[in-house]
Amino acid sequence: MFWFNKEKSKIKQWKENNVFNTETMLPISEIKWNTLIMKDGSIRAIVKLTWVNIDLRNYEEQEAIVEQYKKFINWLWFPIQILVRNDYLELSDYINYMRWNIDALDTWLLKEQWEWYIDFLDDINKQQGLLFIKHFYIVIPYYPAEKDEDGIKKPRWQKFLDAMSAVDTPEKVVERYRIFLKNQKYLDTRVAVISDSLKWLWVEAQRLSLTDIISLLFSCYNPDAHKTQAEFV
């Protein structure tokens, strides 16, 4: 009985020292300005892209875009991650705007049509999932202590164990911050290269700020709270 209580006490102590939640399970250590600092010491930048509807272009423009995209991919000397997200199109702000301005209409017929349109949009807004909008991102990494290929091609079990490490000592945090200060300029150069290269595809790239990164992470891992969290930051 004594042995059982002792083992139970050890398990309880281990759980208290190793709290596993979404934050500790992610490979992200912290966000400094517009850069993510990972637990392995590498750093990341995220740029958001405008989109081009290639179907609306003529044949020559379509061929030019495809060729420029091939050149863009083949020319890169470092790895990137392309992220495409489907987000629900929130219409609440637009509906409230219409309700606030309905009294400005002159005739009762316009007001009646306006109210019908508001009810129509409100019905769509309540049925979440009917309207989506695509967002495009590029995640740009930099591995200071090793080659990019070595960092990308780590075994899955090793990446899993690194993410499972919930214990983060002050020494590790300070060391990662020193690495960040030393290598931030190299990451900034890669971001500039990506932004300039995408202009040939008629695509604009804007680097996410601290608030934008937090909002993106919350929308991925805690979508119910991401809007209020972004406003708080």
List the pLDDT tens digit at each of the 233 positions of the chain.
444 455 455 445 544 555 556 666 778 888 888 999 888 888 999 999 998 888 888 888 889 889 999 999 998 888 999 999 888 777 888 888 888 888 777 788 888 888 888 888 888 877 766 677 889 999 999 988 655 555 556 666 566 556 555 456 677 777 777 878 888 889 999 999 999 999 888 899 999 999 999 888 888 887 766 555 545 45
Residue 158, token pair as written in the block:
């090793």
pTM summary value: 0.71
Instruction: Give the separation between CA 79 and CA 151, rounded to whole angstroms.
Output: 10
Question: What integer pLDDT is reported at residue 36 of this predicted model?
Answer: 92
Question: What integer pLDDT is reported at residue 4 of this predicted model?
Answer: 47
Buried b (16+ CB within 10 A) or exposed e, 6-20: eeeeeeeeeeeeeee
H and E: helices and strands count for the chain: 10, 6
Asked if 142 and 43 touch (Cβ cutoff 8 Å), the reply is yes
Q: Where are the domains of the chain?
A: 26-87+134-232, 90-130
